Chains A and B, each alone.
Chain A
Amino acid sequence: MMATPNDPIVLAREGLLAPAGIAENDLERLFTQLASTGVDQADIYFQSSRRESWSLEGGLVKEGSYSIARGAGLRAVSGEKTGFAYSDELAMPSLEEAARAARAIARRGQSGRVRVAPGTAVPALYPTDDPLGSLDDTAKIELLQRVEAEARARDPRVAEVMASLAAAHDLILVVDQDGRLAADVRPMVRLYVQVIAKDGDRHEQGSSGGGGRHGYAWFLEQDRALGFAREAVRQALVNLEAEEAPAGQMTVVLGPGWPGVLLHEAIGHGLEGDFNRKATSAFSGRIGERVAAPGCTVVDDATLPGRRGSLNIDDEGTPGQRTPLIEDGILAGYMQDRMNARLMGTVSTGNGRRESYAHLPMPRMTNTYMLPGPYDPGEIIASVERGLYAVNFGGGQVDITSGKFVFSASEAYLIEGGRVTRPVKGATLIGNGPDVLTRVSMVGNDLALDQGVGVCGKDGQSVPVGVGQPTLRVDGLTVGGTEA
């Protein structure tokens, strides 16, 4: 294969190995030390990461920061045992020390020599260009000022506008067990707007934002940046009118897009390979069983171009994939990294992810969403006599073992007599993962993905993710309001 200037392997060699004076035979020597006999799996993960953020508050762009981090994580796995060490210094003595520390997990022996060579190239889902340099600094500041002006111009009740613009550029190189090299260059941008609206003594907030694996120009296209400002104001104003939310079990209609956090919490985490290998998930051993109503099909899909959760390769060098989780209501599969796949006798689904070189990889979601169904969203709302219509959410959480999960609505309305009537305050919704999707009685035809601000936390590690779904009618979720 021809090496092009944008080939990630070439960029990674130039950006990570060359400045540190690490040659191919150094990598081979490191591997020889790391992958001794008794080691079933080993890898080295090199990473260089540059980040910036700019923020506006009180009418001024007055906070800006820049950070740079680079290092390498070395892992040796023997059976179910993992040894791990990392180094902030890309220099052979530190890397060799880390290799010795990581491989101490598997005691003795010598391995055969590993030959390092590039693996198969994968199609690119995002550009390799540096997003930090995709707009000049003055234009970034102007963009934030325009966002603020747009928000303030919408309504005199807008009391505060906070906006932030951030970008990250990650260069990674993975050397796996077989000496295969895989590399990725990952851009990420994010714009976030929060508005406080004030009416008399009452303060309420609204927020919106978006991003993905693009350059900053993405915010200027299709009026996106100002659209986020208008959306944040709209939500804050809706919340100024919101009444007490209802309490108790009721029919809930979830809007399209970000409410897909339901899928992430209710079933996504429970289908990660590590919990299922350990049989601590409420979904353990249930492949082939019905866990959702007919018509519900859910996938985890790293292959969507430019999405926040998308990956050309995962952090173990496996190409990003589209993995069916639920097919027409039947549990179809788990999300795997290499170690859990090996121990469960299957193959990685490209879900091995890590926050950075200083963290161990584990099975994580990418973009998780439900495919569309037959119903018009208006038809779904009209079918509900009394219920809640929840269209925007904050975060969620799940107890993998009991299956209980929560997600918190930040914009919701009552449905009365088949019509959306009054806005109600935000409330937490709670349900049981293994049966909540069996209560889905209508699936909308309006699949939408979120705007690209999701962060998923697991075992103290944060990674960017996406979610999505069409409008869904769920018959029976507990709504945690204050009105009986």
Chain B
Amino acid sequence: METMPQRIDELKQRVEDLLAEARRQGADAAEAGVGLDAGLAVTVRLGEVETVEHTRDQGLGITVYIGGRKGSASTSDLSPQALRDTAGKACAIARHMQPDPCNGLPDPERLARVIPDLDLHHPWGIDAEGAIEIARACEQAGRDLDPRIVNSEGASLNTNAGVKVCGNSAGFLAGYPSTRHGLSCALVGRQGGEMQRDYWWTSARAPEDLEAPEAVGMHAAERAVNRLGARKLDTRECPVLFQADVATSLMRAFAGAISGGNLYRQASFLLDRLGKDLFPRFVRIHEDPLRLRGAASAPFDAEGVATLPKDFVSEGVLVSYALDTYAACRLHLETTGNAGGVRNLVMEPTGEDREALLRRLDTGLLVTEMMGQGANLVTGDYSRGASGFWVEGGVIQYPVQEITIAGNLREMFAGLRAVGTDLDRRGGMHTGSWLIERMMVAGE
């Protein structure tokens, strides 16, 4: 795994060969990428090793343009013959396609020239034995926390190191190595005939940034036992506090609705909303793609365009969409360096911690888990399964389950009242808890 950075030059050569091959087979322009990844994943359950998995993945992909027509092909085989076949297949597909004037490479001015070191590569060098010990300690700490923890789905540790190289026929060629490590634990609590499962996880670019194994296990255990004794609620309207780890899914819905692909397809409820009020004045949502060691950080986007910090929502107003070159052309805008998505989307907190948010919620629903895919990005209609806690006078009363929460994302965004300081930065969406003024809760 330590050898990943050393392979960059070799992979750059493959990308150049692939691009040259595409040109030779008739492409006017082409972009290509090669990636390698190696990892180890172990799971320990009830103190015993359950799985040890060694992963090694490699792949290359190319997109070619011939007279405004586009074709793509990919393979897991990096041999010279596979390179030729893949370039050939992409060209053959392109020749069948209908031309689209928006097809093509990004403006060369926008390509990343300097590749900043974002401190993303921290190999762990741990072996299976060491990984098993950590997973075992994690699970054991959780099982020891409470006698009601009677079963486990195990604790898993995974560590991955990879390298990615991208290039295009306009002269862009760059690559960088990165690592990701994670530890998760899922435990089962029992009380009478009722069983509840919950989990916790930590993920980081560098092993030293992971939460302590024991803390992960204990947090999982605490979450599982806190769910015991869950009731349904009567159907009612009330304010809802989305705990930070579930508020990230609201951020993902927002990111989906501002993504170019959904906009030019008229499949977003944020169509024609640029420059309009979306959230209350206090809200700022920005992208921090160059954050050192960030979960979703990248020095350039999927087409080689330099990534830059920027606001999507400023003083509550939607100020930018998230676009790649193609979507920008379709919408008569400029690329925002978001080919492949948004990277570290940050919701700025409004200053209240979790306790203060519960007090401000006063009487309402604290949501700690959501189920299902009920976010309709075309209309903004939102309806999902939920579980969490009923809160009165700012104090948690009892766990609740088998309920749904429903509203419309546009109204939910406008009804946002506060964003907690309890930031969850483990994934690509960084936010604290969201307090939303009012939603429909369906139960009995």
CB <8 Å contact, A203 and B378: yes
Q: Note all chain B residues with C-beta closer than 8 A to A296.
A: none
CB <8 Å contact, B50 and A80: yes
Q: Would you call A310 an interface residue if the criterion is a C-beta within 8 Å of the partner chain's C-beta atoms?
A: no
CB <8 Å contact, A248 and B76: no
CB <8 Å contact, A159 and B384: no
CB <8 Å contact, B51 and A71: no
- A282 to B402 alpha-carbon distance, docked (Å): 14
Q: Note all chain B residues with C-beta closer than 8 A to A400.
A: 197
Q: Would you call B237 an interface residue if the criterion is a C-beta within 8 Å of the partner chain's C-beta atoms?
A: yes
Instruction: Annotate A369-394 by CB proximity to B: 1 below 8 A, 0 otherwise.
Output: 00000000000000000000000001
Most chain A Cβ neighbours within 10 Å, of B98, B374, B440? B374
Q: Would you call A177 an interface residue if the criterion is a C-beta within 8 Å of the partner chain's C-beta atoms?
A: no
Q: Would you call A174 an interface residue if the criterion is a C-beta within 8 Å of the partner chain's C-beta atoms?
A: no
CB <8 Å contact, A279 and B151: yes
CB <8 Å contact, B56 and A88: yes
Q: Would you call A355 an interface residue if the criterion is a C-beta within 8 Å of the partner chain's C-beta atoms?
A: no
Stretch at the interface among A23-31, A35-43, A60-68: A60-68
- A478 to B402 alpha-carbon distance, docked (Å): 8
Q: Would you call B373 an interface residue if the criterion is a C-beta within 8 Å of the partner chain's C-beta atoms?
A: yes
Q: Would you call A365 an interface residue if the criterion is a C-beta within 8 Å of the partner chain's C-beta atoms?
A: no
B328 to chain A, nearest CB (A): 15
- A399 to B384 alpha-carbon distance, docked (Å): 14
Q: Note all chain A residues with C-beta closer than 8 A to B97.
A: 60-64, 141
Q: Would you call A155 an interface residue if the criterion is a C-beta within 8 Å of the partner chain's C-beta atoms?
A: no
Q: Note all chain B residues with C-beta closer than 8 A to A67.
A: 61, 73-75
Interface residues of B toward A: which range?
35 or more
CB <8 Å contact, A358 and B373: no
Partner of A196, one of B48, B86, B99, B266: B266
Q: Would you call A458 an interface residue if the criterion is a C-beta within 8 Å of the partner chain's C-beta atoms?
A: no
Please provide the chain B residues from 120 to 162 with a CB less than 8 Å away from any CB of chain A in the complex: 128, 151, 153
Instruction: Annotate B267-301 by CB proximity to A: 1 below 8 A, 0 otherwise.
Output: 10101000000000000000000000000000000
- A479 to B383 alpha-carbon distance, docked (Å): 9
Instruction: Annotate B192-223 by CB proximity to A: 1 below 8 A, 0 otherwise.
Output: 00111100000000000000000000000000
User: What number of A residues sit within 8 Å (CB to CB) of B?
Assistant: 81
Q: Would you call B433 an interface residue if the criterion is a C-beta within 8 Å of the partner chain's C-beta atoms?
A: no
Most chain B Cβ neighbours within 10 Å, of A68, A101, A480? A480
Partner of A430, one of B72, B195, B404: B404
Most chain A Cβ neighbours within 10 Å, of B50, B103, B235, B236? B235
CB <8 Å contact, A282 and B76: no
CB <8 Å contact, A62 and B383: no
Instruction: Annotate B37-75 by CB proximity to A: 1 below 8 A, 0 otherwise.
Output: 000000001001111111111110100000001111111
Stretch at the interface among B88-96, B313-321, B424-432: B88-96
CB <8 Å contact, B267 and A83: no
Q: Would you call A134 an interface residue if the criterion is a C-beta within 8 Å of the partner chain's C-beta atoms?
A: no
Q: Would you call A247 an interface residue if the criterion is a C-beta within 8 Å of the partner chain's C-beta atoms?
A: yes
CB <8 Å contact, A102 and B51: no
Q: Do A61 and B98 form a contact, CB below 8 Å, given A401-B195, A427-B404? A: yes
Partner of B404, one of A203, A204, A480: A480
Overall SS of chain A's interface: strand
Q: Note all chain B residues with C-beta closer than 8 A to A194.
A: 267
CB <8 Å contact, A408 and B383: yes
Partner of B53, one of A63, A85, A203: A85
Partner of B76, one of A71, A85, A101, A102: A71
- A479 to B440 alpha-carbon distance, docked (Å): 11
Q: Note all chain B residues with C-beta closer than 8 A to A451.
A: none
A19 to chain B, nearest CB (A): 11
Instruction: Annotate B234-265 by CB proximity to A: 1 below 8 A, 0 otherwise.
Output: 01110000000000000000000000000011
B228 to chain A, nearest CB (A): 10
CB <8 Å contact, A404 and B385: yes
B216 to chain A, nearest CB (A): 18
Among residues of B, the one whose C-beta sits closest to the C-beta of A429 is B404
CB <8 Å contact, B271 and A480: no
Instruction: Annotate B379-406 by CB proximity to A: 1 below 8 A, 0 otherwise.
Output: 1010111010000000000000111111
Among residues of A, the one whose C-beta sits closest to the C-beta of B404 is A480
B128 to chain A, nearest CB (A): 7
Among residues of A, the one whose C-beta sits closest to the C-beta of B61 is A67
Q: Would you call A413 an interface residue if the criterion is a C-beta within 8 Å of the partner chain's C-beta atoms?
A: no
Partner of A280, one of B188, B264, B403: B188
Partner of A64, one of B96, B264, B387: B96
Q: List 25 A-B contacts (CB under 8 A).
A: A65-B73, A67-B74, A68-B85, A69-B75, A84-B53, A87-B56, A98-B54, A105-B49, A160-B266, A203-B378, A205-B376, A278-B151, A280-B197, A360-B53, A398-B371, A402-B196, A402-B401, A405-B385, A406-B371, A406-B384, A425-B379, A427-B383, A478-B403, A481-B383, A484-B440
Given A404-B402, A478-B442, A480-B440, 16 extra CB contacts under 8 A: A60-B100, A66-B73, A66-B74, A66-B93, A67-B75, A88-B76, A105-B52, A160-B265, A160-B266, A205-B378, A247-B440, A280-B197, A399-B197, A408-B373, A427-B404, A478-B403
Residues in B lying within 8 Å of A, measured CB to CB? 45, 48-59, 61, 69-77, 82, 85-86, 89-90, 93-94, 96-100, 103, 128, 151, 153, 188, 194-197, 227, 230, 232, 235-237, 264-267, 269, 271, 330, 371-374, 376, 378-379, 381, 383-385, 387, 401-408, 440-444
